[in-house]
Chain A
Amino acid sequence: MTNQPIELEANSRDEEAQPFSRQELRGMLGAPLRMVDLVLGERRRFAANVAQEHRLPTLLVVLTVATAAFALPFGAVLGPQGFWRIAALLLGSLAICIPSLHVFGRYLGIGLSWAQTLAVSLAAAAVTSLFTFALAPILGFFRVTMSASDVVTPQNMAVMLLICAFAAGIGQLFFVALGNRALARRIGPAAIPVIIPWLVLYVIITVRLAGVLHIGS
């Protein structure tokens, strides 16, 4: 029962984080699993892209594609005909709520442009989407092994797993917005008073949109 050391590639805190280049970002469209590095593994580089507004249009395209693509398996497990519904839920609720985040943020002193606000919030949606991708096999397992029950159904479990994925996305929003010094300086002290009420609105809209899309029913 020995634990042989595993060499993990850690980010050196001393190094200046370099933003992702256009070639790297375009490469991610061809190799989708590298998007995991963009939104989770290389958080400091991602924050450098946003803070320096470096290649933001390409970054936004990559994040949007990642959000849509990684949500498809969970939607397909929920129901093959409605495979697009989770992607629509993630992008739709963000589209509805992003104006309020940006306008209230600017009003209360957050110094982010439209594109920067969109990149930060899309990173959260992309993480939610990635987690739905990770939880899709678990939902599939539940669907295979659970027969019709009056108390706990696979649909209940799907909703619970979706909540977990959204919690991960919200965690990522805080990690990106507050965890990086350069970005936190631009956002300023208004971050918490803006983000917390906005999250309440985001959750309400997401729940309503899930109802409209017949997710979990």
Chain B
Amino acid sequence: MRRDVATLVLASALYGFSIGCVHSTRFGLHNVLKFPLLFLITGAACAVAYFLWALLIGGARFRFVDVQRLAMRLYRDAAVLLAALAPANWFLARTIVPPDATSLHDYPLFLGVNICFIAVAGGLALFRQVHALAQYHPWPLSRRVITVGGWLALSLMVGGQAAWTLRPFFGVRSIPGAETRFFLGSSPDYRGSTNFYEAVYNVVAAAPLAADYTRHGRGWD
């Protein structure tokens, strides 16, 4: 378990550094701390729920520590896969045309590529744990999928808000790093959203932008 956690921390720090470099080395170094924290906070908040969910769906007698180990391996695998992409990501981060006063240039492409990276790594880790569960317990495939899928849904629910609190991870380079808080917490973003769910809602039902929206999102308003 300790080895899994150590691998998770190192791998996620490496990936975090690579995405932060799209803004600056300063943001990259912030992410060395923040990205592992994102995984650890999510895992800690969901720990008991993971356990009860596995019991509810599996009906088997699990030990708490076994479920944590399985869930941790899901995170670890995703983090290691992402870490493997870190060199490529770092190269992209340092070579895209940075945003300026006139346009975001390649920045949306970088975000899109990273969303794909995270989706692929998460999907592969999920698939691997569904397969791995079969070695540990003779459940039918449907129960394994529901168990691991439930863990993923819980992680997304909590991880989304954790990521919102710990942001910025990327950061548009036109925002001065020295003027941006380490954690933005519940500070409103450029649309005025103060939490992850509100931000999702604002993406789906986009409200008109305020005239001074470019001044928001640094954590001081």
Residues of A at under 8 Å CB distance from B? 1, 3, 5-11, 36-37, 40-43, 127, 130-131, 133-135, 137-138, 141-142, 145-149, 151-152, 156-157, 168, 171-172, 175, 179
Known contacts A138-B45, A142-B195; 6 additional CB pairs below 8 A are A7-B136, A10-B137, A138-B46, A145-B195, A147-B194, A156-B197
- Interface SS of chain B: helix, strand, loop or mixed? helix
Residues on A with beta carbons closer than 8 Å to the beta carbon of B60: 8-11, 41
**Minimum Cβ distance to chain A for residue B116 (Å):** 21
**B137–A8 touching, CB < 8 Å:** yes
**CB of B138 closer than 8 Å to a CB of A:** yes
Total A-B Cβ pairs within 8 A:
112
Chain B residues engaging chain A, CB cutoff 8 angstroms:
41, 44-49, 51-53, 55-56, 59-63, 66, 69-70, 73, 76-77, 80, 128, 132, 135-138, 154, 157-158, 161-162, 164-165, 185-186, 193-195, 197-198, 201-202
Q: Which of A10, A138, A152 contacts B158 (CB 8 A)?
A: A138
A10-B137, A138-B46, A146-B161 are known contacts. Are A1 and B197 too (CB-CB below 8 A)? no
Q: Which residues of B contact A130 (CB under 8 A)?
A: 52
Q: Are B52 and A138 in contact (CB under 8 A)?
A: no
B193 to chain A, nearest CB (A): 8
Complex-state Cα separation, A138 to B92, whole angstroms: 35
Chain B residues closer than 8 Å to A151, beta-carbon distance: 193, 197-198, 201-202
Smallest CB-CB separation from A39: which chain B residue?
B55
- Note all chain A residues with C-beta closer than 8 A to B76: 1
Q: Is the CB of A145 within 8 A of B161?
A: yes
